[in-house]
Amino acid sequence: MSAETDFDPDVMGMDHTTVTGWGRTAPTGAWLIRPRTYEEAAAAVRGCGARGGIPRGLGRAYGDAAQNAGGSVLDMTALDRVHAIDADGGTVLCDAGVSLHRLMEVLLPLGWFVPVTPGTRYVTVGGAIGADIHGKNHHVSGSFARHVLALELLTADGEIRTVIPGTPLFDATAGGMGLTGVILTATIRLQPVETSLMSVDTERATDLDDLMARLAATDHRYRYSVAWIDLLARGAATGRAVLTRGDHAPLDALPARLRRDPLAFRTSRLPATPAILPEGLLSRTTVGLFNELWYRKAPRTRTGRLQRISGFFHPLDGVPHWNRVYGRGGFVQYQFVVGHGREDALRRIVRRISERRCPSFLAVLKRFGEADPGWLSFPVPGWTLALDIPAGLPGLGAFLDELDEEVAAAGGRVYLAKDARLRPELLAAMYPRLDDFRELRAELDPRGVFVSDLARRLSL
């Protein structure tokens, strides 16, 4: 077949390949382009054929947000320069293809940390803004875009615009899933830290009510807060959990041995998960055993434990390609939020998931703070639950559809960066600013240059 784009494949490093998200479901074919300069990126955008293009970072979006069937996918990871660090004022100007991992390597020795990090360091700055990611500190710090002071956006006309907070284009781009244009650079406000270690408190909650009470009563005392839930526990133990909360350790909390190099950024990586694993490795039995162990191994209460940043924020980054444990069929991640006052909906959903016996070993509950202005930004004040489920679980699609109904009825929403299966009809109810988003896109990109499988599937 012939390319619908008009550049020379050899010059642009174009490859036809199949692309999936981190969940490894729904592969589609696309032309992969890897621009090495802003000019090449602009040429790629101008040269997009009838099926358009979409920027992609490190491919950690679970669903189809960074896929574009039959069109172009712009791998932005070659544009990865850190341009300027203001070590006094605490800001950094960098390319959108820079990973949070790289930023941590560069910034931590200077006493600065990224303002928001999700459960992996291997996301790019562009992706972090496009998905308006959140972290364990959302109740204190909000989402990523709150800390962006300015960004440069390559729009559908091939022009580069400077976009600042408080403008419609910024609010459409923050959480806009790459559909307003290609983010080239960003200026980010940083978080000062005295050490590269975390001071962590751990406690167990015996059931969901206990967990929610503990979170509601004490979350404000911690910068970072998260709860792992055992969704296979049933009956009186439904929703039993381990709370892990903490803050950056101050210098005087470190033992003398660590005080010599308090800002060292240490990570470790285990061997990668093998490419081929048997289907059904994660059954109810194996996950049930894992959950039992994980719950029992957590201390009832423990305070002030020192932990590395990698262990506290990114435990799974130590296992490259961990997404392979779900086998060839891949997995879906389901993350939703319901507002404060809708705890009834959360309880119902947790009970249904427990009764359904979904083998999920990565179920996480946290409380969101104030929302940010991104039109398609996910967080709203309330409770958010995220879980991984093998895509091959029989009847899963219909079951998640039912949960969506509950979420929408409670005024909540699901997270687009993780979605691969939402019924399009529910989107407008979940995201009330959807029409504004569509209108701005129609004006900014009348030819529909920027498009993704997610955009096609949900008519964004």
Partner 1 sequence: MKDAFGLPQSLLVLGGTSEIALATARRLIARRTRTVWLAGRPSPALEEAAGQLRGLGADVHTVAFDALDPGSHEAVLGKVFAEGDVDMVLLAFGLLGDQARDEREPEAAVRVAQTNYTGAVSAGLVCARSLQSQGHGSLVVMSSVAGERARRANFIYGSSKAGLDAFAQGLGDALHGTGVHVMVVRPGFVRTRMTAGLPEAPLATTPEAVASAVELGLRRRSETVWVPGTLRVVMAALRHLPRGVFRRLPV
Distances (CA, A) of 280 to 27, 71, 331: 20, 34, 11
CA distance 421 to 428: 15
Give yes or no for residue 51 binding partner 1 (CB under 8 A): yes
Q: Which residue has the tokens 């959108």?
A: 96
- Is the separation of the CB atoms in 145 and 131 below 8 Å? no
Q: Please report how close the Cβ of residue 289 comes to partner 1 at its closest, in angstroms.
A: 26
Q: Please report how close the Cβ of residue 457 comes to partner 1 at its closest, in angstroms.
A: 4
Nearer to partner 1, 146 or 457 (CB): 457
Give yes or no for residue 68 binding partner 1 (CB under 8 A): yes
Give yes or no for residue 456 binding partner 1 (CB under 8 A): yes
CA distance 364 to 136: 10
Give yes or no for residue 26 binding partner 1 (CB under 8 A): yes
Helix (H) or strand (E) holding 367: strand 364-368
**Running DSSP on this structure, what letter comes out for residue 275?**
S
**Running DSSP on this structure, what letter comes out for residue 307?**
E
DSSP alpha helices (H): ranges in 149-207?
A: 168-173
Q: Which residue has the tokens 């703070």?
A: 369
Give yes or no for residue 64 binding partner 1 (CB under 8 A): yes
Nearer to partner 1, 23 or 178 (CB): 23
- Which of 13, 29, 111, 288 forms a contact with partner 1 (CB under 8 A)? 29
**Running DSSP on this structure, what letter comes out for residue 272?**
P
Give the interface segment with partner 1, choosing from 53-61, 114-122, 293-301, 420-428 (CB under 8 A).
Answer: 420-428
CA distance 211 to 87: 40
Q: Please report how close the Cβ of residue 348 comes to partner 1 at its closest, in angstroms.
A: 24
- Is the separation of the CB atoms in 247 and 198 below 8 Å? yes
Q: Please report how close the Cβ of residue 33 comes to partner 1 at its closest, in angstroms.
A: 14
Give the interface segment with partner 1, choosing from 33-41, 52-60, 255-263, 389-397 (CB under 8 A).
Answer: 389-397
- Give the residue among 56, 43, 45 at the shortest CA–CA distance from 126: 56
Residues in the chain: 460
Nearer to partner 1, 30 or 100 (CB): 30
- Which of 396, 403, 430, 444 forms a contact with partner 1 (CB under 8 A)? 396
SS3 call for 100: helix
Give yes or no for residue 420 binding partner 1 (CB under 8 A): yes
- Which of 13, 70, 158, 168 forms a contact with partner 1 (CB under 8 A)? 70
- Is the separation of the CB atoms in 247 and 113 below 8 Å? no
SS3 call for 200: strand
Give yes or no for residue 427 binding partner 1 (CB under 8 A): no
Contact pattern for partner 1 over residues 316 through 345, marking x by CB under 8 A: -------------xx-x-------------
Nearer to partner 1, 74 or 114 (CB): 74
- Which of 17, 162, 286, 303 forms a contact with partner 1 (CB under 8 A)? 17
Site residues (vs partner 1, CB under 8 A) = 1, 4, 16-19, 23, 25-30, 51, 63-64, 68-71, 329-330, 332, 391-392, 396-398, 420-421, 423-424, 453, 456-457
